[in-house]
């Protein structure tokens, strides 16, 4: 089975994010970067599927500046077999990313594409869906599973996305409002993953050493025939409103009154 | 916006991409998996052994060694590993130091091929925990005065003596024990004493106010027979234990910078939030001076251990250089911890913050692996050519 997994370089959620005074973007000085946490879950799932269905291969793909090779290396250090970087500096919108990935996928012909459901930088939650449309493939978004993250299945690193016996489809449990939905998706397909699918492994030190020797291919969007001119323009970036100071209420009656009249929650 | 100290001095730019991956992976493990169980372990005065399989899985044990299931890391990558472990607790770093530098290293460096294959892969997998027995009740800074004796008999040696203050001893499956086969220090040999050998026991020591999340015990050797196959063939005299200590001290110099960083980060954040006299205490010159002293020590320490890492990779690192780094980095760390404690005021003594725990831990680190004073003498001797030890 050939599995392609996407990995994006994003601002570290532990960094303090500040908006530029002119409101065009965020201040990037002093901000740390890391792999999108949803993508790490996708990498973990890809590795589990590979190991449960040998012989298989996992390819980690990123679209971004040359620095994104760091995030590809982190996927290789977790255990992915090889990497592909579609090198494009600056702001690339989700649609351009989907069209770059389409070209890579047409060339690599994977059986399954695993992606984070969204990237924690701009929270678009569209790349997987756009990609499925461009390829004309089936999709299952927000993959999750029945078992908890403390379960024995999770500890044994069992895949939550299950390959059918005839290897022609995968079964995906989706998180939907108020419950879970089970889908069977014909391969090849796009599956985007949610938070409760797995706990990504820590890259082990020997695997980090081995990752150095794994190949990372660089591709140019132009050579792939993709025009990456953004269709989406960022007009303005604003910080969330500062949290108003709390108030103290004298008794329960006053609290209920406030919840009713001010907060309007009861 | 205030930048993190390490970014302010471009310390991050010293590491390769691979070293950063190592740092991040160990950091995540230590903070996500180890930190949550630490306080309970500290209260119970035990090392959380249940995490050993995960520590081993991460590849931390013997990470600096090549082959036999070890990661084969470069010196700075290994150092960053130690730093990230000790950012959380010195007990965790001590566990890794003892296993990797004091027990696996001598087997790797001085063991026979058969011994390496017999022990190292299991030790890297965390299935066999080691301890290192050098210190005795009456022999600390002067290990040449040790009393433990190994008497040659048919097929092996019979060991008699007692070791004290031995990290990991209560849970160890193997002890690297140093004993004299004759009268003077040149007769010291290394013995691999396995759990189950008759006459070998490891009573636990209780009542520590420091390094509580770490096992400490004694090693009692009462007519303990050790077969010839378990004697380290490659070394004799004090050089054996001392070369292990050089390895471990290198990791300690790196490690304590983690404890220092943890205290520094806590103190900076606290000083920015805590308000007195109508403004954050970070705005008082006396507080800033404390933070700047900590910062200088931490940055100098990083530059020093990074330089030593280059020397280590080139194979020219000397024990004198490591003495200076151990001495200086531990001093920086303990002064940082004590000063950070004052920045936090009364909160500084509480378990809600890591500072007091680090300060307590570092008292052990100041003493073990050569006391601060003994390293002063080693450096004094190297500089003047005059021996002030005795
Ligand atoms: C938590 C912990 C874990 C440990 N783990 C291990 C372990 O795993 N294996 C092991 O073998 N040992 C271990 N040790 C022991 C440690 O290495 C010794 O405590 C250390 O070597 C000092 O020996 P001592 O305690 O006997 O002090 P002493 O040697 O008695 O020293 C007492 C004081 O006298 C000073 N002093 C001694 N000689 C001189 C001199 N010539 N000039 C000036 N000052 C001098 C010392 O610096 C010190 O301040 C551990 C200790 C601790 C606290």
CATH number given to B239-384: 1.20.140.10
Query: pLDDT 10s digit of each residue in chain A, 266 long?
Result: 999 999 999 998 877 888 999 999 998 887 888 999 999 999 999 999 999 999 999 999 999 999 999 999 999 999 999 999 999 998 899 999 999 999 999 999 999 999 999 999 889 999 999 999 999 999 999 999 999 999 999 989 999 999 999 999 999 999 888 889 999 999 999 999 999 999 999 999 999 999 989 999 999 999 999 999 999 988 999 988 888 788 888 899 999 998 888 888 88
A163 CA: distance to closest CA in chain B (Å)? 27
CATH number of the domain encompassing residue A160: 3.40.50.620
CB A5 within 8 A of CB A59: yes
For A74, A85, B223, B336, the CA distances from A104, given in Å and listed in that order, are 20, 10, 70, 52
Give a yes or no: residue A64 inside a domain: yes
pLDDT at A13: 83
Could you list the residue range(s) of the whole structural domain that residue A218 is in? 2-261
User: What b-and-e string marks burial along B85-95, b requiring 16 or more CB atoms within 10 Å of the CB?
Assistant: bbbbbbbbbbb
Strand partners, A87: A64
Q: For B355, what's the count of Cα atoms within 13 Å in the CB-facing half-sphere?
A: 25
A1 CA: distance to closest CA in chain B (Å)? 26
Give a yes or no: residue A257 inside a domain: yes
For A:136-155, CB contacts with B below 8 A are none
- As a whole number of angstroms, the longest Cα–Cα distance in chain A is 69
What is the tally of structural domains in chain A?
1
Give the nearest chain A residue to B69 (CA atoms).
Answer: A206
Q: What is the 3-state secondary structure (H, E, C) of chain B?
A: CCCCHHHHCCHHHHCCHHHHHHHHHHHHHHHHHHHHHHHHHHHHCCCCHHHHHHHHHCCCCCCCCCCCCCCCCCHHHHHHHHHHHHHHCHHHHHHHHHHHHHHHHHHHHHCCHHHHHHHHHHHHCCCCCEEEECCECCECCCHHHCCCEEEEECCEEEEEEEEEEEECHHHCCEEEEEEECCCCHHHEEEEEEECCCCCEECCECCCCCCCCCCCEEEEEEEEEEEEHHHECCCCCCCHHHHHHHHHHHHHHHHHHHHHHHHHHHHHHHHHHHCEECCEEHHHCHHHHHHHHHHHHHHHHHHHHHHHHHHHHHHCCCCHHHHHHHHHHHHHHHHHHHHHHHHHCHHHHHCCCCCHHHHHHHHHHHHHCCCCHHHHHHHHHHHHHCCCCCC
Q: Identify the residue whose tokens are 């097929």.
A: B155
Pairing of strands A82-87, A57-64: parallel
The span from the CA of A27 to the CA of A23, in Å, is 10
User: In 3D, which of B259, B264, B230 has the Cα closest to residue B107?
Assistant: B230
Nearest-CB residue to B17 (from A29, A70, A203): A70
Would you say the CB of residue B179 lies under 6 angstroms from ligand 1?
no
pLDDT at A36: 96
DSSP classification of residue A42: H
- Over residues A116-133, the pLDDT tens digits come to 999 998 899 999 999 999
pLDDT at A235: 92
Please name the helix (run of DSSP H) or strand (run of DSSP E) that holds residue A181, with its range, or none. strand A179-186
- Over residues A130-174, the pLDDT tens digits come to 999 999 999 999 999 999 999 999 989 999 999 999 999 999 999
For residue A206, the chain B residues in CB contact (below 8 A) are 59, 70-72
pLDDT at A244: 79
The span from the CA of B377 to the CA of B216, in Å, is 27
Please name the helix (run of DSSP H) or strand (run of DSSP E) that holds residue A127, with its range, or none. helix A127-135
pLDDT at A28: 85
Nearest-CB residue to B17 (from A73, A207, A209): A73
Domain residue ranges of chain B, discontinuous segments joined by +: 5-124, 130-230, 239-384
Query: Which fold, B5-124?
Result: Butyryl-Coa Dehydrogenase, subunit A; domain 1 (1.10.540)
Q: Could B22 and A208 be called an inter-chain contact, meaning their C-beta atoms sit closer than 8 Å?
A: yes
Q: Could A30 and B4 be called an inter-chain contact, meaning their C-beta atoms sit closer than 8 Å?
A: yes
User: In 3D, which of B228, B206, B207, B227 has the Cα closest to residue B217?
Assistant: B206
Q: What is the mean pLDDT of each run of 10 residues along chain B (390 residues)?
A: 81 90 94 95 96 96 96 97 98 98 98 98 98 98 97 98 98 98 97 98 97 98 98 97 97 98 98 97 98 98 98 97 98 98 98 98 98 97 94
For residue A69, the chain B residues in CB contact (below 8 A) are 17
Q: Could B25 and A77 be called an inter-chain contact, meaning their C-beta atoms sit closer than 8 Å?
A: yes
User: Which residues of B are the active-site residues?
Assistant: 369
Share of chain B above pLDDT 70, in %: 99
pLDDT at B4: 85
The C-alpha torsion from B294 through B300 and B303 to B307, rounded to 10°, is -130
What DSSP line would sit under A182-246, residue for residue?
A: EEEEESSEEEEE-GGG--PPPPPHHHHHHHTTS-EEEE-HHHHT-----SS------PPPPPPPP
For residue B26, the chain A residues in CB contact (below 8 A) are 202, 205
The span from the CA of B215 to the CA of B131, in Å, is 10
Euclidean distance between the first and the last CA atom of chain B, given in angstroms as a whole number = 54
Would you say the CB of residue B145 lies under 6 angstroms from ligand 1?
no
Give the nearest chain A residue to B8 (CA atoms).
Answer: A30
The span from the CA of B104 to the CA of B101, in Å, is 6
B269 CA: distance to closest CA in chain A (Å)? 12
pLDDT at A203: 95
A145 CA: distance to closest CA in chain B (Å)? 22
CB pairs under 8 A between A and B: 60
Q: Could A77 and B3 be called an inter-chain contact, meaning their C-beta atoms sit closer than 8 Å?
A: no
pLDDT at A32: 83
Q: For B176, what's the count of Cα atoms within 13 Å in the CB-facing half-sphere?
A: 30
Strand partners, B151: B158
Distance from the CA of B73 to the center of ligand 1, in angstroms?
A: 30
Would you say the CB of residue B371 lies under 6 angstroms from ligand 1?
yes
- Over residues B137-187, the pLDDT tens digits come to 999 999 999 999 999 999 999 999 999 999 999 999 999 999 999 999 999
CB B23 within 8 A of CB B6: no
pLDDT at B7: 85
pLDDT at A246: 83
Give a yes or no: residue A266 inside a domain: no
pLDDT at B134: 98
* Residue A119: φ, ψ to 5°: -100, 140
Q: Could B25 and A29 be called an inter-chain contact, meaning their C-beta atoms sit closer than 8 Å?
A: no
Give a yes or no: residue A229 inside a domain: yes
User: In 3D, which of A237, A234, A235 has the Cα closest to residue A23?
Assistant: A237
A27 touching B (Cβ < 8 Å): yes
Q: Whose CA is nearest to atom 47 of ligand 1?
A: B373
- Give just the sign of the alpha carbon dihedral B316, B321, B323, B327: negative
pLDDT at B12: 85
pLDDT at A262: 85
The span from the CA of A114 to the CA of A102, in Å, is 13
pLDDT at B104: 98
Q: Whose CA is nearest to atom 26 of ligand 1?
A: B140
Distance from the CA of B295 to the center of ligand 1, in angstroms?
A: 29
The span from the CA of B246 to the CA of B315, in Å, is 13
The span from the CA of A107 to the CA of A61, in Å, is 13
Would you say the CB of residue B364 lies under 6 angstroms from ligand 1?
yes
For residue B79, the chain A residues in CB contact (below 8 A) are none
Q: Could A205 and B63 be called an inter-chain contact, meaning their C-beta atoms sit closer than 8 Å?
A: yes
The C-alpha torsion from A11 through A15 and A16 to A20, rounded to 10°, is -30
Q: Could B58 and A70 be called an inter-chain contact, meaning their C-beta atoms sit closer than 8 Å?
A: no
The C-alpha torsion from B201 through B202 and B204 to B208, rounded to 10°, is 150
Would you say the CB of residue B135 lies under 6 angstroms from ligand 1?
yes
Give a yes or no: residue A67 inside a domain: yes
Per CATH, domain B130-230 is 3.40.50.720? no
């Amino acid at each position: 089975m050939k599995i392609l997994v996407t990995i994006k370089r994003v601002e570290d959620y532990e960094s303090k994010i500040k908006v530029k005074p002119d409101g065009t973007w965020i201040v990037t000085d002093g901000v740390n970067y890391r792999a999108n946490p949803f993508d790490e879950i996708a990498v973990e799932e890809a590795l589990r599927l590979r190991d449960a269905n040998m012989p298989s291969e996992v390819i980690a793909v990123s679209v971004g500046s040359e620095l994104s090779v760091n995030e590809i290396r982190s996927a290789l250090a977790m255990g992915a077999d090889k990497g592909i970087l579609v090198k494009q500096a600056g702001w690339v919108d989700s649609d351009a990313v989907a069209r770059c990935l389409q070209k890579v996928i047409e060339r690599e012909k994977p059986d399954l594409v695993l992606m984070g459901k969204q990237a924690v930088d701009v929270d678009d939650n569209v790349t997987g869906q756009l990609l499925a449309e461009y390829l004309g493939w089936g999709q299952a978004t927000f993959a999750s599973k029945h078992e908890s993250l403390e379960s024995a299945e999770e500890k044994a690193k069992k895949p939550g996305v299950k390959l059918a016996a005839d290897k022609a489809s995968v079964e995906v449990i989706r998180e939907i409002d108020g419950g879970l939905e089970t889908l069977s998706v014909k391969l090849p397909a796009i599956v985007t993953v949610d938070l409760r699918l797995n706990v990504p492994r820590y890259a082990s030190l020997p695997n980090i050493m081995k990752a150095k020797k794994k190949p990372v291919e660089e591709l140019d969007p132009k050579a792939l025939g993709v025009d990456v001119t953004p269709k989406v323009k960022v007009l303005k970036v604003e910080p969330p409103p500062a949290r108003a100071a709390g108030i103290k209420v004298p008794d329960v009656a006053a609290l209920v009154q406030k919840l009713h009249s001010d907060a309007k929650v009861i | 916006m205030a930048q993190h100290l390490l970014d302010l001095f471009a310390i991050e730019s010293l590491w390769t991409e691979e070293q950063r991956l190592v740092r991040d992976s160990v950091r995540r493990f230590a903070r996500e998996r180890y930190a949550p169980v630490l306080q309970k372990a500290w209260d119970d005065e035990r090392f959380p052994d249940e995490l050993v399989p995960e520590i081993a899985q991460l590849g931390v044990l013997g990470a600096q060694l090549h082959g036999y299931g070890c990661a084969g890391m470069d010196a700075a990558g290994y150092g960053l590993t130690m730093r990230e472990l000790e950012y959380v607790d010195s007990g965790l770093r001590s566990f890794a130091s003892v296993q990797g530098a004091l027990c696996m290293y001598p087997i790797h460096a001085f063991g026979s091929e058969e011994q390496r294959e017999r022990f190292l892969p299991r030790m890297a997998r965390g299935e066999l925990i080691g301890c290192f027995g050098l210190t005795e009740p009456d022999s600390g800074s002067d290990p040449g005065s040790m009393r433990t004796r190994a008497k040659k008999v048919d097929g092996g040696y019979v060991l008699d003596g007692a070791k004290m203050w031995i990290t990991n001893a209560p849970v160890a499956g193997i002890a690297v024990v140093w004993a004299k086969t004759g009268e003077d220090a040149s007769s010291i040999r290394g013995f691999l004493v396995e759990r189950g050998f008759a006459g070998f026991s490891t009573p636990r020591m209780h009542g520590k106010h420091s390094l509580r999340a770490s096992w400490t015990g004694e090693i009692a050797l009462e007519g303990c027979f050790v077969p010839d196959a378990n004697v380290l063939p490659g070394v004799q005299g004090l050089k054996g234990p001392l070369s292990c200590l050089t390895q471990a001290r290198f990791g300690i110099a790196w490690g304590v910078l983690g404890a220092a960083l943890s205290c520094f980060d806590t103190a900076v954040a606290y000083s920015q939030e805590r308000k007195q006299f109508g403004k954050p205490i970070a705005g008082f010159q006396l507080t800033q001076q404390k933070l700047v002293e900590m910062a200088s020590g931490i940055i100098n320490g990083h530059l020093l251990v990074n330089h030593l890492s280059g020397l280590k990779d080139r194979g020219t690192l000397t024990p004198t250089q490591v003495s200076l780094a151990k001495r200086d980095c531990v001093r920086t760390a303990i002064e940082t911890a004590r000063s950070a404690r004052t920045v936090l005021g009364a909160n500084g003594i509480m378990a809600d913050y890591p500072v007091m725990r680090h300060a307590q831990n570092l008292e052990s680190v100041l003493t073990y692996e050569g006391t601060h004073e003994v390293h002063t003498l080693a450096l004094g001797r190297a500089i003047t050519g005059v021996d002030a030890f005795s």
